[in-house]
Structure 1
Amino acid sequence: MTLKCIAVDDEPLALKLVQKFIEQTPFLELVHSCDNAIEAMTLIREKQPDLVFLDINMPNLSGMELARLLQQQPPPIPKIIFTTAYNHYAIEGYKVNAMDYLLKPFNYEEFLRASNKVYELFEESSNQPTVVDDEFIFIKVEYQWVRVSLKDILYIEGLKDYVKIHLTAPQKSLLSLISLKALEEKLSSSKFMRIHRSYIVSLDKISAISKNSIFIDKAEVTVGEQYKETFKAIVDKWIR
């Protein structure tokens, strides 16, 4: 597996160093680099990288501001490793789901350690098994693989790098280290639908529909703006 990367830094020497480190790391591929966050936003939309090495202090638009904007965009959202000369951004980095925080000047060992963290996350997600006979999936929960019947799933909630699978009573919810996008690809589109950047719902379990929400069991899930048109097409078939 190779992770596509973009490097962003307004300091030429710092940018060259990150480029060099990416190029000498076997599981990383540099697809582009730039010296400002505004250009980076366009590149991220076009190239859809897996990982962005992002400087924080840049003119016009800071790396932290770019990270906040990315969190508001529809998926896929790349993982971020911040690179900065200042050590007081750790808490802010956590709030935007940054994978790591490299304090300049950093060496290759530190760079590799941070990159490995992202690689292991992607590798874990890719190792999740596929649907078997369209009836069940196996989900890794802590240190074991748990068989989950698709008919027991109410809805699935994305929580940063994890998903929470809500099941019919009396079963308890399951927490698994996999992205919502990766799990979505393993589910039947005729039975499950992404209706929000953070939610996938079982169409069979929807008990009621309002203008902007659906209801499953005792939960209310808002339909995200970018999913409304697709969801409306499904609803129109139900109520005609």
Structure 2
Amino acid sequence: MKIKCIAVDDEPLALSLLTKFIKQTSFLDLIGEFSNGIEALGFVNQNEVQLIFMDIQMPDLSGMELARILDGKKNSDKTRIIFCTAYHQFAIEGYKVEALDYLLKPYSYEDFLAAATKAYQYFEKVKQNSEIQPRKESEAQPEYIFLKVEYQLVKVMLKDITHVEAYKDYVKVHLKSKPNPLLSLTSMKNMEELLPSDKYMRVHRSHIIALDHIDSIAKNTVIIGNHQISVGDNYKEPFLEFLSRWIS
């Protein structure tokens, strides 16, 4: 990953040293250098700039003023600043505008690299978070399923399903919102795969229950509404594990 950055300093020698350090740092990509804040602001408004290495005391528009403008634009998460200045008294003010770091002149390449590495770690974390978020959204559980009922596909909200019961070559899907179950031409195995495992549990070869809809439990029987559902011997172990969490 390369970080797109610019250098801003009104002192030619300081700007030359700053651009030299940026160019010899492999993970930095220098896309602009400016001797005043106004030109730098115009460039940032027109281009994608991730990081600004910038002096504070400059004519017309100081580095601190530029930082406040960028902060006011609510793009501080996209464009971050490392201040480079000879005046240590600006340090506290620099942190108020959430500067990533503060280089005190004269600084060595070692000092510069430490600040640049801090920026790299910051943008690497931002990148990782942006990659994780869409993945979480894509993995979000569906809110409904479609079941084949007679000659049509019926949309059924998951939160409405209280339990599923095997019935010959069909399954009965019991719903909280309807007095009569839906009769669907599918298998219990298929239903087990369709329903989220953290919300539904198979407790018998003929029954899958919605954990959120359990009203009470008596010995090896689960009560959901007016229905009493037995827990089969082959399903007792995972059910007892769930029950231990439920009780605690």
Q: TM-score range by the shorter chain?
A: 0.5 to 0.7
3-state secondary structure, aligned to 1:119: helix
Q: Which residue of 1 aligns with 2:81?
A: 80
Aligned partner letter, 1:116: T
What secondary structure sits across from 2:66 in the alignment? helix
User: Could you say which structure has the higher helix fraction?
Assistant: 2
Deviations, residues 126-163 of structure 1 (Å, cap 9, x unaligned): 22324256243xxxxxxxxxxxx799xxxxxxxxxxxx
Residue identity in the other structure for 2:124:
E
Once the 2 structures are TM-superposed, how far is the Cα of residue 48 of structure 1 from its aligned partner?
Answer: 1.8
> What is the rounded CA distance, in whole Å, between the counterparts of 2:47 and 2:80 in structure 1?
14
The answer to whether the 8 Å contact 1:31/1:47 transfers is no
Q: Corresponding residue for 1:58?
A: 58
Amino acid in the other structure paired with 1:4 = K
1:134 correspondence with 2:135: no
Contact 1:71–1:77 (8 Å) recurs in 2? no
* Identity percentage of aligned residues: 51
Structure 2: gaps spanning 5 or more residues: 144-248
Query: Residue in 1 aligned with 2:20?
Result: 20
Q: How does 1:107-146 map to 2 (within 5 A)?
A: 107-128=108-129, 129=132, 130-132=134-136, 134-136=138-140
- Secondary structure (helix, strand or coil) at the match of 2:88 reads coil
Residue-by-residue CA offset, 1:105-137 (whole Å, 9 max, x unaligned): 10000000001001001112222324256243x
Q: TM-score, normalised by structure 2?
A: 0.53
Task: Summarize the alignment of residues 23-102 of structure 1 with structure 2, pairs less than 5 Å apart.
Answer: 23-75=23-75, 77-102=78-103
SS in structure 2 at match of 1:88: helix
| 3-state secondary structure, aligned to 2:138 | coil
Asked if structure 2 preserves the Cα contact closer than 8 Å seen for 1:56 and 1:83, the reply is yes
**Over aligned residues, Cα RMSD in angstroms?**
1.9
Task: State how many pairs are aligned.
Answer: 139
SS of the residue corresponding to residue 89 of structure 2 reads: coil
Task: Describe the shift of the 1:61–1:131 C-alpha distance in structure 2 as closer, same or farther (beyond 3 A).
Answer: same
- In the TM superposition, 1:220-231 aligns within 5 A as none
Higher Cα Rg, which structure: 2
Q: CA contact under 8 A between 1:83 and 1:104: conserved in structure 2? A: yes
Rounded to whole Å, the distance in 2 between the matches of 1:70 and 1:77 is 10
User: Is the alpha carbon distance of 1:150 and 1:59 closer, same or farther for their aligned partners in structure 2, counting shifts above 3 Å?
Assistant: farther
TM-superposed deviation, 1:45: 1.1
TM-score, normalisation: structure 1: 0.55
Structure 1 gap ranges (5+) = 137-148, 152-240
**One-letter amino acid of the counterpart of residue 41, structure 1:** L
Provide the C-alpha distance between the structure 2 equivalents of 1:36 and 1:132, rounded to a whole number of angstroms: 43
Equivalent-residue separation in structure 2 for 1:53 and 1:70 (angstroms): 14
Question: Cα distance, 1:46 vs. partner?
Answer: 1.5
CA distance in 1, matches of 2:113, 2:39: 26
1:131–1:70 CA distance, 2 compared to 1 (3 A): same
Deviation of the 1:40 alpha carbon: 0.7
Distance 1:54 1:80 in 2: 7
